[in-house]
Amino acid sequence: MEIFAIRLRARAEELGIAHAEAARRAGLSERRYSHYVNGIREPDLATLVRIAGALRTTPDWLLGVAEPGQPSPRSVLLDRLNSAADALIDEILEIVVVQSEALAAKHRPRVLSE
Summarised one tens digit per residue, pLDDT across range 62-100 is 998 876 666 667 777 888 888 888 888 999 999 999 998
Which distant-in-sequence residues (6+ apart) come within 8 Å of 58 by Cβ?
Answer: 52, 66
pTM over 0.85: no
Residue 112 has pLDDT above 60, yes or no: no
Dist CA 42 CA 59 (whole Å): 13
Query: How many Cα atoms are found within 13 Å in the side-chain-facing hemisphere of 38?
Result: 7
